[in-house]
Amino acid sequence: MGVKNNVLGLIFASLHDSTVVELTKQRTMGSIMFGGRYRLIDFPLSNMVNSGITEVGVITKSNYGSLLDHLGTGREWDLSRKKGGLHLLPPFSQNIGDGVYRGRLEALNNVWNYVQHSSAEYVILADCDYVCSINFENVLKQHIETGADITAVYGRFRYTEESGACVDVLEMDAEKRIKSVLIDPQIAGDCNICLDMYVMRKDLLAKLVKDAVSRNKYSLIRDCLQAKVDELKLMGYEFDGYFSRIDSVKSYFEANMALLQPENRAALFQPNAPIYTKIGDNGPVKYGLDAKVSNSLIADGCIIEGTVENCILFRGVKVGKGSIVRDCILMQGTTIGNNCALTAVITDKNVEATEGRVLTGSDSYPLYIGKNAKI
């Protein structure tokens, strides 16, 4: 069964916005910058494209200006098409109040006209809070072979108390049939966490959405997976590759820093499955006479004249002479003047640190500096 023209991809760009409030103040979860030149939505979107999906709808909620700007016509993902292609789906207020939804099912109901219009037989749903490189063709293959109603992608994860809120854990039998769904459980140890990616037939999704809305229900996980665990055949698909989850500023920091490990980069940026993103047309990185750079991931357009260690530098960052930047994430357009010292700092877009500033965060709590701030 080929994926092409038979699968509709649906990405929820705004779910989980509330988990990283600092970063989503002026943007959606999907447009959070990641890994030097990407935004989180680039990962699910590229995964879909690399799996042969040519029709993708992106469901947003609010503050989606940056997302609109980033995705444009979808050309960079090869999704600027006459047939299918990329569709941005802002909240639509035909059915409920102001069009702002509470959960996946309600969001889908809002944009159901679009989903219905697609001739695809299957849908793949994904969120923007997991960063990974996954091939959905394999998920669909397993889904069809096992005759599942819904297949949920899960990953192995060591769960501790600090692992954060709203993690959904799947319990399965030997055949990977899901027996129970635990929402934000109080457990510890190895478990199977749901990676918020689901495959099902479109007609089943239609039924679930209409059924839920008529009963004032809205949550896919609570009202469909958890409630119908016996009624429907729910299967798990194990993703055994590298993934990271963004659910706090701390985990955002760690997920970025994890890219300094070569094996993680190799897993995420595979030559035959590139991660596409908006092109910036920046020049190459320029290293000055006294530049000292080590163990860092640096995007094009940066001009570095100081010392940079263990950092992620986004496009167009400038580090002045005599400055020392360690364990930092500096987002697009950040300018660090001369003789500054930054440790464990996350700067949002276009932050400017003037000459001689000293800013220090800690490993467990990196210092976050908001967009356009001048220090």
Q: Which parts of this chain interact with other proteins (CB under 8 A)?
A: 35-37, 75, 260, 262, 265, 268-269, 274-277, 279, 281-301, 303, 308, 312-313, 316
CA 165 to chain centre: 17
CB nearer to other proteins: pick between 171 and 352: 352
How do beta strands 168-172 and 189-201 pair?
antiparallel
The DSSP code for 327 is S
Q: What does the alpha-carbon distance between residue 331 and residue 318 come to, in Å, rounded to a whole number?
A: 11
Give the tokens for residue 196: 């918020």
Residue 5 C-beta: closest distance to other proteins, Å: 24
Residue 43: φ, ψ to 5°: -70, -60
Cβ 127 to other proteins, closest distance in Å?
22
Q: At its nearest, how many Å lie between other proteins and the CB of residue 279? A: 5
Q: Minimum distance from CB of 305 to other proteins (Å)? A: 10
Q: What is the residue type of 241?
A: G
Minimum CB distance to other proteins smaller for 25 or for 286: 286
Answer positive or negative: Cα dihedral of 147, 198, 94, 97: positive
Residue 61 and residue 15: Cα distance in Å, rounded? 8
* Alpha carbons 147 and 130: distance in angstroms, whole number: 26
Element (H, E) at 44: helix 42-50
Closest CA to 208 of 172, 188, 244, 234: 234
| Least distance to other proteins, CB of residue 312, Å | 8
Shortest distance in whole angstroms from residue 282 CB to other proteins: 7
Residue 209 or residue 293: which is nearer to other proteins going by CB? 293
Cβ distance to other proteins smaller for residue 171 or 309: 309
- With CA atoms as reference, report the closest residue to 297 among 283, 308, 286, 284: 308
Residue 267 beta carbon to other proteins: minimum distance, rounded to whole angstroms: 12
The minimum distance between CB 261 and other proteins, in angstroms, equals 10
One-letter amino acid for residue 279 of the chain:
I
CB closer to other proteins, 86 vs 298:
298
Residue 49 CB, shortest distance to other proteins, in Å, is 11
* Angle ∠(303,307,312) on CA atoms, nearest 5: 65
Cβ proximity to other proteins: between 42 and 129 the closer is 42
The tokens describing 298, both together, are 């640096």
Name the phi and psi angles at 56, rounded to 5.
-135, 130
* Token pair in block for residue 254: 């760690």
**What is d(CA 340, CA 358) in angstroms, rounded to the nearest whole number?**
6
- 216 vs 295, beta carbon nearer other proteins: 295
Kindly tell me which of 35 and 236 has the beta carbon lying closer to other proteins: 35
- Number of Cβ atoms within 10 Å of the Cβ of 295: 12
Contact 66, 350 (CB under 8 A): no
> Residue 239 in contact with residue 153, Cβ under 8 Å?
yes
